């Protein structure tokens, strides 16, 4: 085995959390390495959400990775809610004193971060096998991994666990040091991507008697649609035609007439889950993004929460190295969780508001109808939706 090297921060996982953290630290002069289990192509093949809050856009600017987002991202000032056959606009911009969101795919964010990392000559080890965070309760943690048939070890000051929901970092914590909070929903989302113009300029969140649907987009020529489906459905059983027919049934007549269909370029089913691990710091190892929490995609918060965790973590490390202060790292977990739980609440609420829960019975459906009516007709209620959708500030 080669002699262990020392690198201040070892980041495990090259999803958006790990890549953004690596770049923010590099900009602040803090050396880091990223260890990723999969190949870069595999990481880029995962299609996920596409709505960025201002906080996320600001961090991408700070990371020097915002050029393509500024050029190709689509600013959105409102969203629509469709229920009982009618669409209602939520004026995000007007209700929040001028805030908006940016429609720009997570795949593109990841590609942009990979590009700037490569351009700076920073190291990412792809296809790193059997990555193990070790001795993170000591002053000098170690990360061991295998690559090209050799075992490697890196000594570091800190380990950043950016390795997603199924990663090794959270799994390395003894059960008596961690609490799990979880809610699993009784349905999934079937997503379809197509090179067709979006049905509408703004996103449409649909509550229909046949279940939830979402009309989203990636550009003026690429659409992303979703359908609520039972967890027992298999993606192979959904032909493109069946998808489009079911989507049409859930839309209002105008949208149905405008919908342009075409062959799918991606189709997949994802389960919906709410999950939080507490705390997010274990000695010198810190969890960030999906490694620490999952939200159902209804509020478009997953990527944004990952970004704000990383924003807090990069500041904490900068504080440590530049100001010799442990204040940031000592408050990291508390700071993140405060924001995480707000987003968990909002995502759970949007999910409860917009989906069919047949097992909950007719009372639930009636309450949902009353709440939807309240949300679009009360300025206070629409403001609450809008301020959460555009994203709460980072404290
Ligand atoms: N060793 C090294 N890398 C690992 C390991 C491991 N043992 N386990 C997982 N990884 C890698 C995964 O292959 C993946 O590339 O960690 C990365 C985690 O990336 P994401 O799952 O995208 O998580 P994160 O970067 O936190 O991004 C959160 O993703 O799921 C969405 O809604 C979520 O948009 C949010 C974003
Ligand atoms: C998406 O475009 O993939 C998307 C948008 C908004 C959501 C979820 C997913 O709430």
Tens digit of each residue's pLDDT (9 = 90 or more) over 4-33: 899 999 999 999 999 999 999 999 999 999
- Report pLDDT digits (tens) over 40-67: 999 999 888 899 999 999 999 999 999 9
Give residue 80's pLDDT: 98
Closest CA to 40 of 63, 7, 18, 62: 18
Question: β-pairing, 285-287 with 158-161?
Answer: parallel
Looking at domain 186-272+358-390, which CATH architecture does it have?
2-Layer Sandwich (3.30)
Residue 204 has pLDDT above 90, yes or no: yes
Length of the chain: 395
Say how many Å lie between the first and final Cα of the chain, rounded: 44
Q: How far is the CA of 374 from the centre of ligand 2 (A)?
A: 24
Q: How far is the CA of 393 from the centre of ligand 2 (A)?
A: 21
How far apart are the C-alpha atoms of 276 and 303, rounded to whole Å? 15
Q: How far is the CA of 216 from the centre of ligand 2 (A)?
A: 6
Q: Which ligand places an atom closest to the C-alpha of 49?
A: 2
Give residue 2's pLDDT: 63
Q: What share of the chain in percent tops pLDDT 70?
A: 99
- Annotate 81-98 with b (16+ C-beta within 10 A) or e (fewer): bbbeeebbebebbebbee
How far apart are the C-alpha atoms of 171 and 187, rounded to whole Å? 26
Q: What share of the chain in percent tops pLDDT 90?
A: 97
Name the average pLDDT for the chain.
Answer: 97
User: Is residue 292 in contact with ligand 1, taking CB distance under 6 Å?
Assistant: no
- Report pLDDT digits (tens) over 148-186: 999 999 999 999 999 999 999 999 999 999 999 999 999
The residue whose CA is least distant from atom 1 of ligand 1 is 37
Q: What is the mean pLDDT of residues 278-306?
A: 98
Give residue 4's pLDDT: 82
- Report pLDDT digits (tens) over 185-203: 999 999 999 999 999 999 9
Residue 258 has pLDDT above 90, yes or no: yes
Residue 86 has pLDDT above 80, yes or no: yes
Q: How far is the CA of 260 from the centre of ligand 1 (A)?
A: 33
Ligand 2 nearest atom to the CA of residue 218, by list position: 2
- Report pLDDT digits (tens) over 317-368: 999 999 999 999 999 999 999 999 999 999 999 999 999 998 999 999 999 9
Q: How confident is the model at residue 39 (pLDDT cuts 50, 70, 90)?
A: very high
| Residues flanking ligand 2, CB < 6 Å | 49-51, 203, 214, 216, 224, 297-298, 300
Helices (H), 10-53: 16-27, 40-45
Q: How far is the CA of 29 from the centre of ligand 2 (A)?
A: 34
Give residue 1's pLDDT: 61
The catalytic residue positions are 76, 205, 297, 301, 389
User: Is residue 11 in contact with ligand 1, taking CB distance under 6 Å?
Assistant: no
> Which value, in Å, is the radius of gyration of the alpha carbons in the chain?
21
How far apart are the C-alpha atoms of 388 and 347, rounded to whole Å? 9
User: Is residue 15 in contact with ligand 1, taking CB distance under 6 Å?
Assistant: yes
5-74+102-181+273-350 domain in CATH 3.50.50.60?
yes
| Contact status, residue 109 vs residue 92, Cβ threshold 8 Å | no
| Contact status, residue 104 vs residue 69, Cβ threshold 8 Å | yes
The domain locations on the chain are 5-74+102-181+273-350, 186-272+358-390
User: Is residue 48 in contact with ligand 1, taking CB distance under 6 Å?
Assistant: yes
Ligand 1 nearest atom to the CA of residue 297, by list position: 32
Query: SS3 of 53, please?
Result: coil
Residue 211 has pLDDT above 70, yes or no: yes
| Contact status, residue 9 vs residue 3, Cβ threshold 8 Å | no
Q: Which ligand places an atom closest to the C-alpha of 106?
A: 1
Q: Do domains 5-74+102-181+273-350 and 186-272+358-390 have the same CATH topology?
A: no
């Amino acid at each position: 085995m080669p002699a262990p090297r020392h690198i201040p921060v070892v980041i495990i996982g090259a999803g958006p959390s790990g890549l953004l953290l690596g770049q923010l630290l590099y900009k602040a002069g803090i050396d880091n390495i990223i260890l990723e289990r999969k190949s870069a192509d595999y990481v880029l093949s995962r299609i996920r959400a596409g709505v960025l809050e201002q906080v996320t856009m600001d961090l991408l600017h700070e990371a020097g990775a915002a050029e393509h987002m500024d050029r190709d991202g689509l600013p959105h000032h409102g969203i629509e809610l469709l229920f009982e056959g009618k669409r209602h606009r939520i004026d995000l911009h007007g209700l929040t004193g001028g805030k908006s969101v940016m429609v720009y795919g997570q795949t593109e964010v990841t590609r942009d971060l990979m590009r700037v990392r490569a351009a700076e000559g920073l190291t990412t080890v792809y296809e790193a096998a059997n990555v193990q965070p070790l001795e993170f309760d000591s002053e000098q943690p170690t990360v061991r991994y295998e690559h090209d048939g050799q075992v490697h070890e890196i000594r570091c000051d800190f380990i950043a666990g950016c390795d997603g929901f199924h990663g090794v970092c959270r799994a390395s914590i003894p059960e008596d040091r961690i609490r799990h909070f979880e809610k699993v929903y009784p349905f999934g989302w079937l997503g379809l991507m197509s090179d067709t113009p979006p049905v509408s300029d703004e996103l449409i969140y649909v509550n229909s008697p046949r279940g939830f649907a979402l009309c989203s987009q990636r550009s003026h020529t690429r659409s992303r649609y979703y359908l609520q489906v039972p967890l027992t459905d298999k993606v192979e059983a959904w032909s493109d035609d069946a998808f489009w027919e079911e989507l049409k049934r859930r839309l209002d007549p105008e949208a149905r007439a405008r919908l342009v269909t075409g062959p799918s370029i991606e189709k997949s089913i994802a389960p919906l889950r709410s999950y939080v691990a507490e705390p997010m710091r274990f000695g010198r190892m810190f969890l960030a993004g999906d490694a620490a929490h999952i939200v159902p995609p209804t509020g478009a918060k997953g990527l944004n929460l990952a970004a704000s965790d990383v924003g807090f973590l990069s500041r904490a490390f900068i504080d440590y190295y530049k100001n010799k202060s442990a204040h940031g790292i000592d408050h990291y977990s508390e700071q993140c969780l405060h924001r995480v739980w707000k987003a968990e609440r909002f995502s759970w609420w949007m999910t409860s508001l917009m989906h069919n829960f047949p097992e909950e019975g007719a009372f639930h459906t009636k309450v949902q109808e009353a709440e939807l009516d309240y949300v679009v007709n009360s300025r206070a209620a629409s403001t609450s939706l809008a301020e959460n959708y555009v994203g709460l500030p980072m404290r």
